[in-house]
Amino acid sequence: MPTADSNALSFREDGTFRVLQVSDPQDLVHPRRAMLKMLDAAYDAFSPDLVLFTGDNTLGNHLLDVGPFRIQSVRNPAFTLRQMRRALKRILLPVDQRNVPFAMIYGNHDDMNDVTKEAQFALYHAYSSCLPMNETDPAVDCDTYHIPIRTRDGKTAWNLWLLDSAWNDETGQYWKIREETVQWYARTSASLAEENGGMPVPSLMFMHVPLPQTKDLLIPCAETEPGAMWDGVRFVRLDPEKASGVLGESISAGEDPFGLYEAVRRRGDVRAFVFGHDHRNCFDGVSDGMRFIQSGAASFRCYGAKETRGVRLFTLHADDPDSFETAYYTYKDLCGDDALSRLRYFWDADESARKKYTLLGAGAVLTAAGTAIGLLTAHLKK
């Protein structure tokens, strides 16, 4: 559990530490049960030491949406905040009840509404298992902070960076890494290294929106090639010499105008960048010596795909700071492939909506027809 005065967490007695990444749960006050079942199964299967929500934790100002055919934005801050509290409770309470520490960063949907990040901040901190975020440095966002993972003797063997990449400036520009964020990272990284005898502390860096360098994992291809995706200019796919996994949509990268990527290269502490945001993308690759990991969405309320709806598990080792293990687990992995699980997936997944409504419509027509035939038969008998 977190200490009273910091974000620091500790390795297990066996020297391991498990981080469960949940990206883009992105739902309303009554979340789809398939997602809740999947998350509960993951918590029970993996017993994580930390659950990390990496953005788009609710649908933000779309908390009144009722389906793919009705999009309604909320424009009342007090009402939005109440709806957010109810929506977050459904995903945070199961973690809190298990006494598992959790942490979060914001995504673009969390920021695309009339409730400030600071106001949302209090909703997370209402739970005792929520780690302290940035409460002391006004130069950066409240969800820009870091989590040291310490050995039993108090040494910081690993570090988790959490950076806000969903910033909304006065022009409405999203997905931009702020200059203050880059400066904060550089000086905090240097401070951690100084405490570590001058050696950089091995780290993972979590952000919601991918950095533009993630696109270096792609190569041009023909439209007919397996895994081909249109990126707005050409067809591309994952370069098999650099990455493995699923490219289910073009990479929606943010901007890095103040050189976060270059700062990370100079500091030499980050072992991998970890993102969410693109719901159908789920891959792991290395380009120019840097590792890029993207995890699919957990949400069933929004678009996704069977092979990418899930969660990602990281396992860190106190005695091996240069490597870690990660694996991605889908709904099928966690909930099985029996008839009930398949039915729940079909019923809750948004891409099934048209088929579902067609079936419901057909069912209503058949029911009405049966009723009419019954009434007519009764009338003729009379």
Enumerate residues 6+ apart whose C-beta is below 8 A from 345. Answer: 34, 300, 306, 331, 332, 335
- Statement to judge: residues 202 and 167 lie in one domain: yes
- Statement to judge: residues 364 and 285 lie in one domain: no
- Statement to judge: residues 356 and 330 lie in one domain: no
Q: Can you give the CATH number for the domain in which 215 is found?
A: 3.60.21.10
Domain interval for residue 88: 9-348
User: What is the bridge-based pairing of β-strands 9-10 and 145-150?
Assistant: parallel
The number of folded domains in the chain is 2
How far apart are the C-alpha atoms of 62 and 44, rounded to whole Å? Answer: 31
- DSSP state at residue 67: B
Q: Is residue 140 within 8 Å of residue 180, measured between CB atoms? A: yes
- Specify the length of the chain in residues: 382
Would 224 be classed as within a structural domain? yes
- Statement to judge: residues 342 and 367 lie in one domain: no
- Statement to judge: residues 71 and 37 lie in one domain: yes
Q: pLDDT by residue (tens digit) across 326-372?
A: 999 999 999 999 999 999 999 998 887 667 656 655 444 344 444 54
- DSSP state at residue 41: H
Would 256 be classed as within a structural domain? yes
- Statement to judge: residues 262 and 181 lie in one domain: yes
Q: Can you give the pLDDT of all 382 residues of the chain as single tens digits?
A: 333 346 889 999 999 999 999 999 999 888 999 999 999 999 999 999 999 999 999 987 665 554 444 555 556 778 888 889 999 999 999 999 999 999 999 998 888 777 888 889 999 999 999 999 998 888 898 999 999 999 988 899 999 999 998 766 555 555 788 899 999 999 999 999 999 999 999 999 999 999 999 999 999 999 999 999 999 999 999 999 999 999 999 999 998 999 999 999 999 999 999 999 999 999 999 999 999 999 999 999 988 888 999 999 999 999 988 889 999 999 999 999 999 999 999 999 888 766 765 665 544 434 444 454 454 455 445 4
pTM: 0.89
Enumerate residues 6+ apart whose C-beta is below 8 A from 60. Answer: 109, 110, 111, 112, 113
- Statement to judge: residues 32 and 162 lie in one domain: yes
Q: Is residue 204 within 8 Å of residue 249, measured between CB atoms? A: no
- Statement to judge: residues 379 and 337 lie in one domain: no
Would 1 be classed as within a structural domain? no
- Statement to judge: residues 270 and 356 lie in one domain: no
Would 4 be classed as within a structural domain? no
H or E element in which residue 10 lies: strand 9-10
- Statement to judge: residues 230 and 216 lie in one domain: yes
Would 373 be classed as within a structural domain? yes
